[in-house]
């Protein structure tokens, strides 16, 4: 690479290590991944959070994470207090990475005083990683997509 060629990755210099650590620490405070949520829900007992599906009723009926509470984003202001305990952290999700409904629901809940995180990947990655889900017809499960789930589903090494 010549001195006049601009490296697109380093077009903007990386943050300092301290700034990067603060950013990534904050990111972990705002996000949970599908595998961690699934592990917490399958251990048994209280996972320490309530999982909220923020999609429409039609989407919920098509499939949702077992044990999730259905609370569409638009209904958060009027129904959150009835459905959720303010002392229990909330993890929201929507369809997937191409949808920000889980983010909007998390914002609405945070503005109401709830501790909240968003599940990265949403319902799409829940299904793609091979975790069981419920539909209006009952429980279903698909084989894990090898591009999204680790070979050893118990430990991806990260």
Evaluate if residue 38 carries a pLDDT over 90. yes
pLDDT, averaged across the chain: 91
- What pLDDT score was predicted for residue 70? 98
Q: Evaluate whether residue 149 is within a structural domain.
A: no
Q: Provide the residue range defining the domain that includes 60.
A: 32-140
pLDDT tier for residue 150 given thresholds of 50, 70 and 90: low
Question: 11 is written with which tokens?
Answer: 């077009």
As a whole number of angstroms, the distance between CA 136 and CA 74 comes to: 22
Place of tokens 């809940």: 109
Is pLDDT above 60 for 2? no
Better-predicted residue by pLDDT, 43 or 35: 35
Does residue 50 lie within any of the structural domains? yes
Q: Into how many domains does the chain fold?
A: 1
Residue 44 pLDDT? 79
Whole-model pTM?
A: 0.87
- Helix axis angle, 101-111 relative to 76-83, nearest 10°? 70
pLDDT tens per residue, range 84-143:
999 999 999 999 999 999 999 999 999 999 999 999 999 999 999 999 999 999 999 999
- What pLDDT band is residue 154 in, cutting at 50, 70 and 90? low
CATH of the domain at 70: 3.40.250.10
Burial 121-153 (b: 16+ CB within 10 A, else e): bbbbbbbbbbbebbeeeeeeeeebeeeebeeee
Please check whether residue 135 lies inside any domain of the structure.
yes
Q: Is residue 84 part of a domain?
A: yes
Phi, psi of 10 (to 5 degrees): -105, 20
pLDDT of residue 4: 60
The stretch 40-47 carries a mean pLDDT of: 89
* Residue-level pLDDT at 71: 98
Residue 129 lies in a domain: yes
What's the confidence (pLDDT) of residue 117? 98
Asked whether residue 157 carries a pLDDT value surpassing 70, the answer given is no
Domain presence at residue 47: yes
Cα distance from N-terminal residue to C-terminal residue, the chain: 32
């Amino acid at each position: 690479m010549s001195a006049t060629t601009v490296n697109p990755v380093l077009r903007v210099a990386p943050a300092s290590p301290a700034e990067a650590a603060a950013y990534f620490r904050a990111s972990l405070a705002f996000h949970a991944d599908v595998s961690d949520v699934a592990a917490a829900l399958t251990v048994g007992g209280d996972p320490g959070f309530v999982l909220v599906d923020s999609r429409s009723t039609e989407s919920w009926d098509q499939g949702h994470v077992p044990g999730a509470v259905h609370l569409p984003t638009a209904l958060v202001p009027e129904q959150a207090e009835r459905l959720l305990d303010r002392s229990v952290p909330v993890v929201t999700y929507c369809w997937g990475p191409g949808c920000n409904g889980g983010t909007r629901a998390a914002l609405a809940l945070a503005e109401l005083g709830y501790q909240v995180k968003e599940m990265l990947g949403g319902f799409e990655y829940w299904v793609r990683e091979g975790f069981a889900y419920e539909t209006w017809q009952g429980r279903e499960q698909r084989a894990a997509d090898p591009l999204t789930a680790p070979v050893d589903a118990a430990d991806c090494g990260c």
